[in-house]
Amino acid sequence: MFAIPALDLVPLGAAAGTVRLPGSKSISNRLLLLAGLSEGETTLVDLLDSDDTRVMLDALQALGCRIEPDGSTTRIVGFGGRPAVAAADLFLGNAGTAMRPLTAALAVLACEHGGDYRLRGVPRMHERPIGDLVDALRGLGCSIDCTVQEGYPPLRLRGGQLDLSRPVRVRGDVSSQFLTALLLALPLATAQQAVQIEVVGELISKPYIEITLNLLARFGIAVQREGWSRFTLPQGSRYRTPGVVPVEADASSASYFIALGALAGIDAPVRIEGVGADSIQGDIRFVEAAQAMGAQVHSEANALEVRRGAWPLQAIDLDCNHIPDAAMTLAVMALYADGPSTLRNIASWRVKETDRIAAMATELRKIGATVDEGTDFIRVHPLAQFRSASLHTYDDHRMAMCLSLAAFHELKGSGPATLRIEDPKCVAKTFPDYFEALFSVVSVERDRVPVITIDGPTASGKGTLAASVAEQLGYHTLDSGSLYRVTALAARRAGVAADNESALAQVAAGLKLRFEGTRVFLEGDEVTDALREEAVGTMASQISVWPAVRAALHELQCSFRRLPGLVADGRDMGTVIFPDAALKVFLTASAAARAERRHKQLISKGISASLDSLRADLEARDARDRSRSTAPLKPAEDALELDNSGMTIGDSVDLVLGWWLQRRPFVLQG
Ligand code: DC
């Protein structure tokens, strides 16, 4: 039932601060292929690490390139003009920037040296047209089979006889990636003569062709062009690695933070590092569109600072052919404008990761917006009152990132709405840490950050339940027991006794802690395993009776309440630390069931233990936790009780997520 993880966003407030963006996807994958086709070693600095670059790296490796990642650099030893293997089956996910150029390069290489290459991807990739490129390559003499449906991947490339007597003709009006693919691959065919490419129809997305030409030039290939209709690759063109190549940050990714500055950079700017006025990416011109809507932008060579100017934003009517990807961001900004905004000449949206015109219209309507759409335009009307909604993201990274910008509606006077972003991890295609970056610059009052509390006795399975619920919701976790345990451990190390309240409180207040996921570090030392030792647990229970110790840990626990939300487990999460939590669960299980679980846990770690003494110890600890005068273990009045003695963890997670959903202001559709 809850197979798809989701991220619930509360209304977000002002933004300020600095974000560093990941490398550009378009540049990263082009550079990877060029490095692979070159002889010798290329070092790429700040290469994007994402789904789409990973499939390209895997493909190059399968073809015989040596790839050595090392921190922020990636060293690639290319295979030059000839892959090490003549047959390969390559899986390219949903990466158009891998599928198209590799198709062209391998089709040509198979003609020159013989070969049998299969290229395939996820189901959506098999719905994305590639017929125009296949036709162009067939016109050149390449033998290509579309093995399932003519005009679509999967493909099989099996050599052929290159005929370069006529120009290669390719359509330019569906996707510029076809021309890019030919430009990147055809230097391979220039040993005997120059190769000409003729574009049929009006070329769309010209800025992406400029990126291709720019990067080819860096690899020693000087393409001559007449307007945008005829390109010549000179005879004897050879890929020559420039050695070290820095990868620019992604200008399309910058669009979300430029929009953020325009919407929420109220008292201070949002600073974006890694891309600026010197960018070779066409999407950098999104800056002009954002300025037209009112953003104040200060550009540096390699950085941008954006703050709010006009408010509400100014409506625009814009031909977006030059910024096809970034233009999606304008569709969401339009919700905050002073009139309807029309984005034109965007037919290419329909053949991207999903049909983006239909997807954007459908999802914005769920929030309450009026949207008109046509084959190649979208018109978005401003919205006064945003509605809570669960928003589908279509396995499309840009849908997820764009839709998150609808969470700033209170800044425009709308009442609060909760937006659920379904499958938020789809941002991994180009920007794996997008939401972390967003939350790092957005402010929100602490008490508006949603909290789910899971209290209960020791070994009831709170930790496991909390971690699973948090994982499904994309929320942070607080294992408050670990703070009492780490205090106990630190006290033991410092020789402080369990009855010395003031010294213990001092230890608790001075803890130097660092958390990495579920790992805990004390003074730089990892103590994750040490914290689970029985002796530490027993001392934790003893020292947790002291009011001064509890007070010393109070603020530390509250500081875990950060966007997008928190799942906190312990004894007094719902009663004392987060009394305003949106959902409180009191988890119990019989002492017998808990003793058995703990027993299994210890045995699996190779620690021997007696079931009876474990049970006696648990009961003693329960009694102490229940009877202490400060913050005793008891259900909050508004807690929902869950006895999981006979339940699997999956059942408990489903039950809690079901309770959570009942308290969300939207109904799930579909
Ligand atoms: O959940 P745990 O077993 O890791 O917790 C260790 C001890 O810390 C437990 O015996 C009682 C104490 N504790 C507490 O008093 N309040 C909390 N919120 C969490 C733990």
3-state secondary structure 360-397: HHHHHHHHCCCEEECCCEEEECCCCCCCCEEECCCCCH
Identify whether the C-beta of residue 369 lies closer than 8 Å to the C-beta of residue 378: no
Query: Ligand 1 mean position to 509 CA, how many Å?
Result: 17
- State the Cα–Cα distance between residues 499 and 518, nearest whole angstrom: 29
**Whose alpha carbon is nearest atom 15 of ligand 1?**
544
Q: Phi/psi class of residue 237: alpha, beta or left (left: φ > 0; alpha: ψ in -120 to 50)?
A: beta
Q: Atom of ligand 1 at shortest distance to CA of 577?
A: 18
- Cα(596) to centroid(ligand 1), Å: 19
428 in Cβ contact with 50 (< 8 Å): yes
Q: Whose CA is nearest to atom 8 of ligand 1?
A: 481
Does the CB atom of residue 621 touch ligand 1 within 6 A?
yes
- Using CA positions, which residue lies closest to atom 4 of ligand 1? 481
- Per the CB < 8 A criterion, the answer to whether 562 and 449 are in contact is yes
Neighbours of 567 (CB within 10 A): 31
Residue nearest to atom 6 of ligand 1 (CA): 481
Residue of the nearest CA to atom 1 in ligand 1?
A: 481
Residue 480 Cβ < 6 Å to ligand 1:
yes
Residue of 544, 545, 619 best suited for mutating to test ligand 1, as the one with most atoms within 8 Å of CB: 544
d(CA 588, ligand 1 centre) in Å: 14
Residues 6 or more apart whose Cβ sits within 8 Å of residue 620: none
User: What confidence score (pLDDT) does residue 4 get?
Assistant: 61
User: Which residue among 541, 553, 573, 575 has the greatest number of ligand 1 atoms within 8 angstroms of its CB, and so is best to mutate?
Assistant: 541
Cα(524)–Cα(522) distance, rounded to whole angstroms?
A: 5
Residue 556 Cα, ligand 1 centroid: separation in angstroms? Answer: 15
Q: Are strands 73-77 and 41-45 parallel, antiparallel or unpaired?
A: antiparallel
Complete DSSP assignment for 600-653: HHHHHTT----HHHHHHHHHHHHHHHHH-SSS-S---TTPEEEE-TT--HHHHH
Query: How open is the CA angle 538-569-634, to the nearest 5 degrees?
Result: 75
Burial 98-134 (b: 16+ CB within 10 A, else e): bbbbbbbbbbbbbbeeebebbbbbbeebbebebebbb
Helix, strand, or coil here: 322?
Answer: coil
Query: What is the structure's pLDDT at 625?
Result: 86
pLDDT value at residue 670:
46
User: Dihedral of the CA atoms 263, 264, 265, 266 (nearest 10)?
Assistant: 110
Cα separation of 538 and 541, whole Å?
Answer: 5
Beta-bridge partner residues of 520: 515
Q: Which atom of ligand 1 is nearest to the CA of 624?
A: 10
Residue 621 Cα to ligand 1 midpoint, Å, equals 9
Residues marked as catalytic: 325
Say if ligand 1 is within 6 A of residue 253 CB.
no
Longest dimension (CA), the chain: 92
Beta carbon of 540 within 6 Å of any ligand 1 atom: yes
**Is the CB of 598 inside a 6 Å radius of any atom of ligand 1?**
no
10-residue mean pLDDT series, the chain (670 residues): 74 96 93 96 94 96 96 94 93 95 97 96 95 96 97 96 94 90 96 95 89 96 96 96 94 97 98 94 96 98 96 98 94 98 95 94 98 97 97 96 98 96 93 95 94 94 94 94 97 96 97 90 95 91 95 97 96 96 96 91 85 91 88 93 93 94 75
| Ligand 1 in reach of 622 Cβ (< 6 A) | no
Q: How far apart are CA 349 and CA 347, in angstroms?
A: 5
Mutating to test ligand 1, I would choose from 465, 484, 557 the residue with most ligand atoms within 8 A of its C-beta, which is 484
CA separation, residue 265 to residues 103, 542, 633 (Å): 44, 49, 44
- By alpha-carbon position, which residue is closest to atom 13 of ligand 1? 481
Q: Which ligand 1 atom sits closest to the C-alpha of 625?
A: 11
pTM: 0.84
Report the separation in Å between the CA atom of 644 and the middle of ligand 1, taken as the mean of its atom positions: 19
pLDDT at residue 2, rounded to an integer: 46
* Cα-to-centroid distance, 660 and ligand 1 (Å): 24
Out of 477, 480, 602, give the residue to mutate to test ligand 1, the one with the largest number of ligand atoms within 8 Å of its CB.
480
Residue type, 531: L
Dihedral over Cα of 337, 342, 345, 350: its sign: positive
Q: Quick check: CB of 572 below 6 Å from ligand 1?
A: yes
Residue type, 421: I
Ligand 1 pocket residue status of 472, Cβ below 6 Å:
no
CA distance 430 to 428: 5
What is d(CA 566, CA 479) in angstroms, rounded to the nearest whole number?
Answer: 11
CA of 572 to the centre of ligand 1 (A): 9
Q: What is the 3-state secondary structure (H, E, C) of 211-245?
A: HHHHHHHHCCCCCEEECCCEEEECCCCCCECCCEE
User: 511 C-alpha vs ligand 1 centroid, how far in Å?
Assistant: 17
Tell whether ligand 1 has an atom less than 6 A from the beta carbon of residue 570.
Answer: yes
Q: Is the CB of 185 under 6 A from ligand 1?
A: no
Q: What is the DSSP string of 530-589?
A: HHTSHHHHHHHHHHTT-HHHHHHHHHHHHTT--TT-EEEEESSIIIII-TT-SEEEEEE-
Q: What is the pLDDT of residue 668?
A: 67
Is residue 269 in contact with ligand 1, taking CB distance under 6 Å?
no
B/e letters for 518-533, b = 16+ CB within 10 Å, e = fewer, are eebebeeeebeebbee
Distance 622 CA to ligand 1 centre (A): 10
- Give the residue, by CA position, lying nearest to ligand 1 atom 11: 541
Q: How far apart are CA 643 and CA 636, in angstroms?
A: 15
Task: Work out which ligand 1 atom sits closest to the CA atom of 557.
Answer: 18
Distance, in Å, from the CA atom of 127 to the CA atom of 302, rounded to the nearest integer, reads 37
